[in-house]
A and B are shown apart, each in its own frame.
Chain A
Amino acid sequence: MTLRAAAGDPRASTGRSGRGEWFAGYAFIAVPMLLFLVLNIGSIVYSAYISVFQWNIRSGATGFLGLKNYQTALGDPTFHRAIQNSIYYAVIWVPLTMAVGLFLAVLVNQRLRGRTFFRAAYYFPAIASSAAVTILWIFLAAPDGFFNAVRAALGLNPLFAFFGYPPNQNWIGDAATALNSVILLNAWTTSGTFMLFYLASLQTISREVYEAAAIDGAGSWQTFWRITFPLLRPGHYFVATVAVIGALQLFDQAAIAGGPNGDPANALMTVVLYLYNQAFTRFDFDYAAAIGLILFAIIMTLTLIQRRVFGSAPTW
């Protein structure tokens, strides 16, 4: 849309063209684009180059490996674990956070007094740093922490015992619950962001559509599922794409709670954490570069699949 608009912009040819404008254009973009290209596209090409060599931080390339790093990744159990964790995280976290975000967006999109306040309140957890919220979360989820104290005070312990959780369950320190705890943490902090995305999308639906539905006697439940939800398809596509890309890049929370090995027992090992681990605890830069490119391939594939599922990114 944007590009087509730019290219086909009728105003783009108001005849002020010429060498002077070319020169000015290149002069304007020279510094920003040089930095941008070197640090982005350049670094990806460099990544591909590094990944096929035996790399040493002091002497650079010391021997050609070809695709050996990629073969190693295929048979590396820790890398498999990292992929599993990242996919599990994406499969649970993306729909959960999208659902909460959409729910909040519909709530604060009503014409109610104080909705600006509620919007601001729901986005609030997203402004704090990942380090601050993760450390806060670890404190709350500790064996003697707030969560366990509250559920004991509410008399919910028998229920938790039924599911096999003792009164002093260490939610982030136990391999069985660590990743789910991080999922909840990030659903808490990110649902407000998704709410804002959905709000923007909700506001593109015209009022007349709802008026027509009301005249036809549609209840609010029906209106939501038959009108709002399907009309939000561009919004769903956008939020889902951003969410999946974000989910597969999970790093900060896993690294802060689980250290470079994603402890306990690799329960918090994610693809990006493994990339970091290989580069900075094992100094295996070429293998780390290969992992980065595999992640890139996975994200590109998933994005293309999403595009298929949601149709050809239709209405934007």
Chain B
Amino acid sequence: MTDRVGSAGDARPVAPSGTASAGGSRGALVQAGPAVTGDVAVLPRARLDEVGTAVRVGDKRAHWRRRAAYAVMITYAVLMFTPFAWSLITSFKTQPDAVQLTFIPQPPTLDAWRYVFQNLDPSIFRLFANSAGIALAVTLTNLVLASIAGYAFARLRFPGRELLFLVVLATLMIPDQLRLVPVYLILNGFGLTRGPGQYLAVVLTMVIMGTNIFLMRQYFLSIPREIEEAARIDGASFFTTFSRVMLPLATPALAAVAILQFQGTWNAFFWPLIFLRDQSYFTVPIALTFFRGQGGFTTNYPPLMAVVVLSTVPVLILYIFFQRYFVEGIAASGVKG
């Protein structure tokens, strides 16, 4: 378990490779070493006089290989995008045209978009505000809580630290939904299943995620100890050292946590489905499934596809601008919602 999570972080840390990470990857290679040599020895060995030709033939082959690789990569990329392209095209169609295989809407219309902005109940603006509010709140609590806990686990020595961190790692393996009944009953006990408390209930279910604690700890471990020791010698308290010295240095990790957590919460389905009972509190994903179930909307595809497109826009913008954090953060945390 610890190995599992540790390894992902080691393989591709968001952080500049710290001592711990470097050690991890090196260990991998050393252990893999003997096995490799064994395998290679089995392969047929080219005779010395053949080496020259082999290289020339290889060049030609490499040329064709590259072409084939591009052909496959482009085809696959087109396949990946087709469903999204189809939803975008459909959102500009009339209802009868939506079930035709026409790539250019006949006739193109903005009716579906007008419908989405004017006729939805709750309104699309309300839905976006609900989603944004919950996602921002969860992102903020995770940034604050994961950075202080991550720092303590990385740098402060106190009895029980290893055990507590082991507990954090272990919970990464526990299915989230196992918490459904107890968490619902606890929050219901606090009256958070009624009224605006529903928002708070959703935020609380995601208030602090183990992956974020893990990510922040790994990053703090990678920052040279001398930097904070200098601050400590100058008489700074633990908290000042953390907030003034270490936190600014951890900006890349904070950015990764913020972006991934915002995206995850924006898209969240399970907990909002459980706790958001009143329509006016719905987030975009919950509203989407609600609209689909509504009479008249079920087969009225163009507006439904317009909402699908619209719901993806915020995360798409994040993805375009902060792609690096997605790629490295996912590889480092090894967990995706």
Could you list which residues of chain A lie within 8 angstroms of chain B, going by C-beta atoms? 1-3, 5-7, 9, 11-12, 14, 16-17, 20-22, 24-26, 28-29, 31-33, 35-44, 46-47, 50, 57, 104, 107-108, 110, 112, 118-133, 135-140, 142, 144-146, 149-150, 153, 188, 192-193, 196-197, 199-201, 203-206, 209, 212-213, 215-218, 220, 222, 226-227, 230-231, 234, 237-238, 241-242, 245, 248-249, 251-252, 255-256, 272, 275-276, 279-280, 285, 288-289, 292-293, 295-296, 299-300, 303, 313-316
Q: Are B181 and A149 in contact (CB under 8 A)?
A: no
Is A252 within 8 A of B179, CB to CB? Answer: no
Q: Please judge, given known A-B contacts A139-B301, A140-B86, A217-B46, whether A296 and B331 are in contact too, CB under 8 Å.
A: no
Of the candidates B54, B83, B208, the one having the most CB atoms from chain A within 10 angstroms of its own CB is: B83
In Å, the complex CA distance between A263 and B78 comes to 32
* Chain A residue contacts of B139, Cβ below 8 A: none
Nearest CB in chain B to that of A273: its residue: B177
Q: Which residues of A contact B24 (CB under 8 A)?
A: 1-2, 5, 316
- The interface size bin for chain B is 35 or more
Which residues of B have CB within 8 Å of A188? Answer: 80, 83
- Which segment of B29-37, B113-121, B247-255 sits at the interface? B29-37
Q: Are A26 and B83 in contact (CB under 8 A)?
A: no
**CB distance B77 to A122 under 8 Å?**
yes
Set A144, A197, A237: member contacting B99, Cβ < 8 A: A144
Bound complex: CA of A36 vs CA of B3, how far in Å?
Answer: 22
B11 x A200 contact (CB < 8 A):
yes
A32 to B7, Cβ gap below 8 A? no
Could you say which of B12, B50, B76, B182 contacts A44, with CB atoms under 8 Å apart? B182
**Is B130 in the interface zone, CB < 8 Å from A?**
no
Instruction: Kindly identify, within residues 319 to 337 of chain B, every residue whose CB is under 8 Å from any CB belonging to chain A.
Output: 319, 323, 326-327, 330-331, 334-336
A222 to B43, CA, bound (A): 8
Q: Are A272 and B177 in contact (CB under 8 A)?
A: yes
Given the known inter-chain contacts A129-B269, A149-B101, please indicate yes or no for A139 contacting B27, CB distance below 8 A. Answer: no
A107, B72: Cβ atoms under 8 Å? Answer: yes
- Chain A residues positioned under 8 Å from B168 (CB to CB): 36
Q: Which residues of A contact B207 (CB under 8 A)?
A: 35, 39
Q: Return chain B residues, CB-CB under 8 Å to A204.
A: 11, 25, 28-29
Contact across chains for A316 and B289 when beta carbons are under 8 A apart: no
The answer to whether A28 and B152 touch across the interface, beta carbons within 8 angstroms, is yes
- Judged by a CB distance under 8 angstroms, whether B227 is at the interface is no
- Contact: A26 with B43, CB < 8 Å? no
Q: Are B4 and A199 in contact (CB under 8 A)?
A: no
Contact A196 B330 (CB under 8 A): yes
Closest-by-CB residue of A relative to B291 is: A135
Most chain B beta carbons < 10 A, residue from A36, A227, A292: A36
Nearest chain B CB to A172 CB, angstrom units: 12
Contact in complex: B145, A251 (CB < 8 Å): no
Query: Which one, A12, A213, A315, contacts B27 given CB within 8 A?
Result: A315
B70 within 8 A of A: yes
Q: How far is the CA of A205 from the CA of B188 in the complex (A)?
A: 51
Please, which residues of chain A bring their CB within 8 A of the CB of B158?
Answer: 21-22, 24-26
Using A5-B20, A193-B336, A217-B43 as known contacts, say yes or no to A31 and B156 having CB atoms under 8 A apart. no
B50, B165, B269: which has the most chain A beta carbons within 10 Å?
A: B269
Known: A24-B156, A315-B27. A209 touches B175 (CB 8 A): no
Q: Does B159 contact A (CB under 8 A)?
A: yes
- Of residues 129 through 171 on chain B, the ones whose CB sits less than 8 Å from some CB of chain A are 145-146, 148-149, 151-153, 156-159, 161-162, 164-169, 171
Give the docked Cα–Cα distance between A213 and B54 (Å).
Answer: 13
B163 to A, closest residue via Cβ: A3
Find out whether the CB atom of A249 lies under 8 angstroms from the CB atom of B145.
Answer: no
**B151 touching A28, Cβ below 8 Å:** yes
Closest to A312 in B: B3
